[in-house]
Amino acid sequence: MLIPHTRQHGFSIIAVTGALIIIGLLMMAALHMVQDHRRRATLSADRALALQEAETALTEAECQLAIATRTPSYSACRAPISNAHITEEDLVMLAGFTPGSCGNRKGLCWPLEGQSAQSLAKLLDTSTDAFVLRKLSTMGQRRPPQGARYVIEPIPDTQPGQWIQAGTASLPTLFRITAVGFGVDPGINVVLQTVYRPQANTQ
């Protein structure tokens, strides 16, 4: 038969052990919440970085098209584009485009029916045929391992056959730009797309 003192001592050990277990569980839950918050913050920062890079690539492509087609642009280019580069690509006459191809990492794609410029150029791959920008000055010290890039593809400005009925000399052309930026985690990326209308087609 246990004396009262021994019985109380046993209850005390059980109570202390239970309290320690509860405290340990609370600490583990708090640590998990902190780690989860940190992961969410990192993911948010990575997406913001990828968006910034994609926007810069999109602006760069618009700038190239504006200069090549002599369309007034309200965006400042990061670097001047040489006349030789513009003449070689000849975006007005589409001389730089090859049907079914994205050639020589210039980012000029002409997908055939059933193809997409994004897959044709391997836009998200490390070995891409898109035009890859030089590493940008990014937020703080966070620099993505893959550079932002873009592809440009010509698309018709009218429904099939409509331009012939209108008596125009050639098929009016718009340009679809697809740009992508990456986060520090290469699995994080943001893809942006827009359609660019040259000045010649703003009638």
Closest CA to 46 of 163, 167, 139: 139
Closest CA to 151 of 198, 105, 90, 82: 105
Query: Tell me, what's the pLDDT at 200?
Result: 56
Query: Tell me, what's the pLDDT at 163?
Result: 45
Query: Tell me, what's the pLDDT at 176?
Result: 94
Strand order in the sheet with 149-156: 131-132, 149-156, 173-182, 189-196
Three-state DSSP state, 134: coil
Structure tokens at 114: 């059933």
Whole-angstrom distance, CA of residue 109 vs CA of residue 102: 4
In order along its 203 residues, the chain shows pLDDT tens digits of 445 555 566 667 777 787 888 888 888 888 878 777 677 767 888 899 999 999 999 998 988 888 887 777 656 666 556 666 666 666 767 777 888 888 766 788 989 888 888 888 899 988 888 989 876 555 556 778 889 999 999 988 765 554 444 444 455 578 999 999 999 888 899 999 999 988 754 44
Contact 155, 173 (CB under 8 A): yes
Q: What are the extents of the domains in the chain?
A: 43-159+170-196
Whole-angstrom distance, CA of residue 110 vs CA of residue 99: 5
